[in-house]
Structure 1
Amino acid sequence: MNVMEEHRYMVNTAENIFGSDYESIEVLADLISEKLECPITIEDANHRIIAYSRHEDEVDPVRIATIMRRKVPENVINSLWKSGAIPQLFQSEEPIIIPRIDQVALGERVAISVRKQNEVVGFIWAHPKEPFSQGKISILREAAKAVKNQLLQHQKQRKETEKNYQEFFWKLLTGHFSRMREIEGMNERHKLNLKGPLSVIIFDFPQPITPSLERQTNYLAETIQQLQIIARTYDNTQMILLVKLSEESQTGSLTQFINSFLLKISERQKINGMVSGAGSVVDQPLSISQSYQEALYVLKIKNQFPQATAHIHCFEQLGVFQFIEELAAIRKQSGFKNPMIAKLKDYDRTHHSNLQETIFTFLQHDGNMNEAAKALHIHANTLAYRLKRISDIANINLKDANQKITLFLDLLIEQLENSHL
């Protein structure tokens, strides 16, 4: 039998092997493993394990960790993205040979994406003991076709589950419930894990979220495994997540998750210009609506003060911005205008200078000369000269904390008023 005949034989054999129904996807996983003569795993599009073949004597740590966690570890996913393996799987219908990645103890793999038309619905990962022949490559192609219906059914069930809890989730977000008994009664059907520390995170995209973008954001949210996602929904340009946290370093965990999401969606999907916000961590479901309102407030403040709040993601980090609107209302009611700002504004207008921006940047950086000078793109000596001019013109003592705080707050209030014009 020549090479071409052998190849046709293997293809026909594969089609015959995977041409019938199966008792379960686990049975199919074992059959694929038997024909490929190596362990395999079947994942959904977000790298959650759907089925895996029986263990062999020799398995690498990544396979063990994946099966134990029921999902591929985040550091492995990151390495596969950096190596170009996952981008290839999303772009190509053909099997991809992936060399070992020693940094994460990943042995050599042969993988193929499972597709419904152009949409990736999952993956098959084979753990070969020796290089695959063309015959086994053909078997893997046919295995992907056989697995497709199983994964589509799983995808449909998951979408139905998420669709069913959407109304319940919106009721939690909008404060519909007044008693825990009502929440517990409705949650008997949905079984959301609402015990422990919870927070609402909102990612506001620069454009409405299309079905394609929704799949991409779901993928990222699922594969960043720093927080447990309890529920998610979409509202025009916003992805809204309810997340569960550990008892320690809660604000730090929220910030880390948000930064990871923003970085990866920028690197992988080339989406920038997003605004994010997280509400306070709450310890019972009745307070989820409070966390949601606080997350919305964070977005509002970040849009009003984009530079001053660029590093802020959580409500607890807002500081004075938590009550800046109340302070503005008090100032407006009293009719008070800070004379220091008026003097600087007049000087800037007459001399075409930017002393008001200089003092705001200096105060924003808590008086740190080097950081303020860097932000203004000037030398520290130039900043020192400007500060002396500001002190003389506005009659302000920059060693008086009370004066500095008052000036900073009034500068923020002026920015807030300008953002409403």
Structure 2
Amino acid sequence: MTTKRDMQDPLQGPFRSLEELADSISDTLQCPITIEDASHRILAYSTHDVNVDEARIATIMRRKVPENVIKTLWKRGIIPQLLESDEPVIIPAIEEVGLGNRVAIAVRKSEEVLGFIWAQVDRNITENEVDLLKRAAQLVKHQKMQLQMKKRKDEQSHREFFWQLLTGHLQDNASIYSSEHYPNMQIDGEISIVVFDFGQDIDQSIERNVRYYVQAAQQMKVVFNAIDDNQMIFLVQPSDAQQPAKQLTAFVRAFVEDISERLEIASITGGVGTLYREPVRIKDSYREALYVLSMKERFPQEISTIYNYQDLGIYQFIDVLYEQRMRTHHRNYFIEKLKQYDETNHTQLLETIEIYLQYDNNINDASKALHVHPNTLNYRLKRISEITEMNLKDPNQKMTLYLDLKIERLK
């Protein structure tokens, strides 16, 4: 349908607000319009009649697109398509989340997505209407850019402050508290550093998708963030005051799984530093997060499910023990005996005891990991005890052997 206003170029403006722009698009397309930021929070929406769907009503009520709608749009490939395309995207109705037919377009500046325009329209749109949506996206961009110019200057200054915290250039809390940037941290409680390693340089597409994911999911308050080659670094504050460490681990695990799947990057790993209350300890949390990543690289099997420094257990100290062992030229008698026996008899007793100890002396779990019958494992353990003269019931001997087996991997 072409209205008189369409013939007069409804986007001529000027518009005093995004609400006026939304109403102008709505008047021309004869359908409800929503303008959102990159995190799917509402910036403006047009007036509408009673013929609106559940998703629009829920979005307006919450001032943000419901999480189940966002997840569904990701699964259907619609959000990735919007993030990569300059053209409007046609979206068929998705009844299970109450979403009617839509046409949407991303508002972008070069490669950066600033937001979205959504039209609830139950018909095919014309080429003129496609052009109108594209021009509307440009108008939204200009308004957003004016707001972001100051924001970007602030962000650059904040980023420099963040790196000073990470590297320990601000060496006491007094120096941090007196900084003009400290109020921007807006923290009240425990904070931690989370580092994600992508195994490759982080290009604009990866950065855009990750920022979108973190903002849209709203699983964690991000105070500051930065990029260092193939790593993304976040200063975060958990919202769960009762179990903040568990929330951090859940956030990192979900991030690794979701982003790996969405961006098809199999090498993403994550590390979490200790939670601290004092900002001067941010450098320590950063160092710990990097240490987790280094341990995951050196012991990929043993700590594949560990993300938090506090959950590393003995791996927190493995480097110190390694240095001490190298300094004293120590050799574990039990390991040397088993190595010699395995070489002579073509057996795998050293592997057997390592798996047995790794599975906390659990015969059933260890035998499954070794693909042998429990009786076979019991026989091997008996032979190990006879060959090495080790007491497998002595926790001190077993712990020392386990540590030395891991240290062997670092040589």
Question: TM-score range, shorter-chain basis?
Answer: 0.7 to 0.9
- Shift of the 150–208 alpha-carbon distance from structure 1 to 2, 3 Å rule, reads same
Aligned partner of 1:346 in structure 2 is: 340
Larger RCO: 1 or 2 (CA < 8 Å, sep 6+): 1
In the aligned structure 2, how far is the partner of 1:11 from the partner of 1:395?
96
1:250 aligns with 2:218: no
Tell me if structure 2 keeps the 8 A contact 1:61–1:106. yes
Listed one character per residue, the Cα deviations across residues 262-312 of structure 1 (whole Å, up to 9, x for unaligned) are 112211111121232110111232221221121122122222222211111
In the aligned structure 1, how far is the partner of 2:281 from the partner of 2:397?
38
- Residue in structure 2 matching 1:219, options 212, 216, 229: 212
Aligned partner of 1:16 in structure 2 is: 9
Aligned partner of 1:356 in structure 2 is: 350
In the aligned structure 2, how far is the partner of 1:65 from the partner of 1:374?
50
- Tell me the CA shift for residue 230 of structure 1: 0.9
- Tell me the CA shift for residue 347 of structure 1: 1.9
Aligned partner of 2:37 in structure 1 is: 44
- Shift of the 304–189 alpha-carbon distance from structure 1 to 2, 3 Å rule, reads closer
Tell me if structure 2 keeps the 8 A contact 1:36–1:139. no
- Count of aligned residue pairs for this structure pair: 409
Secondary structure of 2:317's aligned partner:
helix
Runs (5+) with no aligned partner, structure 2: none
- Shift of the 94–247 alpha-carbon distance from structure 1 to 2, 3 Å rule, reads same
State which drifts further: 62-71 or 261-270. 62-71
Aligned partner of 1:3 in structure 2 is: none
Q: How does 1:308-387 map to 2 (within 5 A)?
A: 308-387=302-381
Tell me if structure 1 keeps the 8 A contact 2:111–2:204. no
RMSD: 3.0
- Tell me the CA shift for residue 254 of structure 1: 1.1
- Tell me the CA shift for residue 233 of structure 1: 0.4
The residue type paired with residue 259 of structure 1 is R
- Shift of the 70–411 alpha-carbon distance from structure 1 to 2, 3 Å rule, reads farther
Tell me if structure 2 keeps the 8 A contact 1:65–1:73. yes
Aligned partner of 2:285 in structure 1 is: 291
- Tell me the CA shift for residue 324 of structure 1: 1.9
Secondary structure of 2:185's aligned partner:
coil
- Tell me the CA shift for residue 413 of structure 1: 1.8
- Tell me the CA shift for residue 341 of structure 1: 0.7
The residue type paired with residue 415 of structure 1 is R
In the aligned structure 1, how far is the partner of 2:205 from the partner of 2:83?
13
- Shift of the 285–389 alpha-carbon distance from structure 1 to 2, 3 Å rule, reads same
The residue type paired with residue 268 of structure 1 is R
Tell me if structure 2 keeps the 8 A contact 1:224–1:261. no
The residue type paired with residue 390 of structure 1 is I
State which drifts further: 343-352 or 174-183. 174-183
Tell me if structure 2 keeps the 8 A contact 1:328–1:413. yes
State which drifts further: 110-119 or 228-237. 110-119
Secondary structure of 1:282's aligned partner:
coil
The residue type paired with residue 212 of structure 1 is S
Q: How does 1:145-164 map to 2 (within 5 A)?
A: 145-164=138-157
The residue type paired with residue 122 of structure 1 is G
In the aligned structure 2, how far is the partner of 1:171 from the partner of 1:306?
31
Secondary structure of 2:35's aligned partner:
strand
Runs (5+) with no aligned partner, structure 1: 1-5
In the aligned structure 1, how far is the partner of 2:368 from the partner of 2:66?
39
In the aligned structure 2, how far is the partner of 1:238 from the partner of 1:14?
51
- Tell me the CA shift for residue 166 of structure 1: 0.7
- Shift of the 118–179 alpha-carbon distance from structure 1 to 2, 3 Å rule, reads closer
Q: Which runs of 4+ in 1 moved over 6 A?
A: none
The residue type paired with residue 230 of structure 2 is T
The residue type paired with residue 387 of structure 2 is I
The residue type paired with residue 156 of structure 2 is K
Secondary structure of 2:194's aligned partner:
strand
State which drifts further: 300-309 or 215-224. 215-224
- Tell me the CA shift for residue 116 of structure 1: 4.3
Aligned partner of 1:127 in structure 2 is: 120
- Tell me the CA shift for residue 103 of structure 1: 4.2
